[in-house]
Amino acid sequence: MNKGSMIIKNTSEVVTCSGFAAKKGKEMSDLGIIEKGAVVVEEGIIKAVGPQEEILKEYDEARYEVIDAKGKALLPGFVDSHTHYIWGGYRAEEFSWRLRGDDYMDIMNRGGGILSSVRQTKAATKEELYREGMKRLDSMLSFGVTTVEGKSGYGLDFDTEIKQLEVMHDTDRDHPIEVVKTYLGAHAVPKEYKGREDEMIEEIIEEVLPVVVKRKLAEFCDVFCEANVFNIEQSRRLLTKAKEMGLKIKLHADEIVPLGGAELAAELGATSADHLLQASKEGIDQMAKKDVVATILPGTAFSLKEEYARAREMIDRGSAVALATDLNPGSCFSESIPLVFSLATLYMNLSPEEAINAFTINGAAAVDRADTIGSIDVGKQGDMILLEFESYKYIPYHIGVSTVEKVIKGGRLVFDKEGSPLVRR
């Protein structure tokens, strides 16, 4: 996209979340706030950040687009580091089943769950997937998301998985939000592979991964490491091969049973392990030691009426915790950043400061972008959000409602609640 040059001035505070790596443990309470700060962006890159009196002495406002923040808070753009935003069809009926008490794994075993979305995604055209994906990205942008991770996984065959990744590339090209692509071909076991999971893993390794890598369709490979899906050894084999081929790796780990996914993530040096509702203390400690980001998805636990992941314990034990929405058509049909903030602070005992870092610099680390996004630091991309209020503390306080007024991506204003709502690439 075109990169802009601008000055943002008259802020009440610039919440920098300063850093070039994930914040761990007690570091997650440090936001690096500059009161009455200003930021300069040149050609999409942050050139200067600091107290306004100092910044404006050095830079001529006439050379820049100027945003008058009018005493409002400026933060880094949010990084939603775990979503499945490209899919076909919906599963509203399944949601009503869950409300009456049907178990999630029960629904999967009846052909629902992920496999229901697989059928509908296979039937959808690329044009349909693109149109719906762009609408979802529009909504994410209004919540302040400037970078999102998108996973495939609703094909479970060569053609549909490639189709999903191609659509992600198209939406990444056309939308202001930057998309990090993840191949998740091992997301579920279709009926024809029940009892033949090893064969499915081999086919992914031999037939799909080489094409994904050659065409640069994805940056990461992920696997649903879970009971009745893919076991530890199958997950280890897939991720090891993916890593050898040049992909970075992630895991859906220890969501439903304590299988040992957190330990596997540490063993393999994964960028992140996600969900972690049933992760062991040993696994948590090993992840912290190996700098694996613990990506927590409270919206999913909320939707499934499960206990939340022990994020408070993870932080206290020295982990780097990220928050993400897990937007998907089944277990969490929500891209609401405010909802996740509320759940994290009200029910998981994260402080507002920890939640901010979890959705910015640690979200960036969870997609291996902490060196370029996730904070307001000189040399990073000019990705920022301006709130309607004077403090970041309004984000969890205004429960379930977005406090984002403006979104800036690469030094360009791409969303303005008060004016034009969206700027395309």
Place of tokens 């929500």: 334
Does 331 appear as a known binding residue?
Answer: yes
List domains and CATH numbers for the chain: 6-76+372-416 (2.30.40.10), 78-366 (3.20.20.140)
169 in a known ligand binding site: no
154 is in an annotated binding site: yes
How many angstroms separate the most distant Cα atoms in the chain? Answer: 69
392 CB-side CA count, 13 A: 29
CA separation for the pair 252, 241 (Å, rounded):
17
- Ligand-binding annotation for 328, yes or no, is yes
pTM of the model: 0.96
Q: Could you list the pLDDT tens digit for every one of the 425 residues in the chain?
A: 568 999 999 999 999 999 999 999 999 999 999 999 999 999 999 999 999 999 999 999 999 999 999 999 999 999 999 999 999 999 888 888 888 888 767 786 776 788 889 999 999 999 999 999 999 999 999 999 999 999 999 999 999 999 999 999 999 999 999 999 999 999 999 989 999 999 999 999 999 999 999 999 999 999 999 999 999 999 999 999 999 999 999 999 999 999 999 999 999 999 999 999 999 999 999 999 999 999 999 999 999 889 999 999 999 999 999 999 999 999 999 999 999 999 999 999 999 999 999 999 999 999 999 999 999 999 999 999 999 999 999 999 999 999 999 999 999 999 999 875 565 55
C-beta of residue 149 within 8 angstroms of C-beta of residue 112 = no
Q: Rounded to the nearest 5°, which phi and psi values hold at 234?
A: -65, -40
Q: What is the DSSP string of 234-275?
A: HHHHHHHHHHHTT-EEEEEESSSS--SHHHHHHHHT-SEEEE
> Is 275 annotated as belonging to a binding site?
no
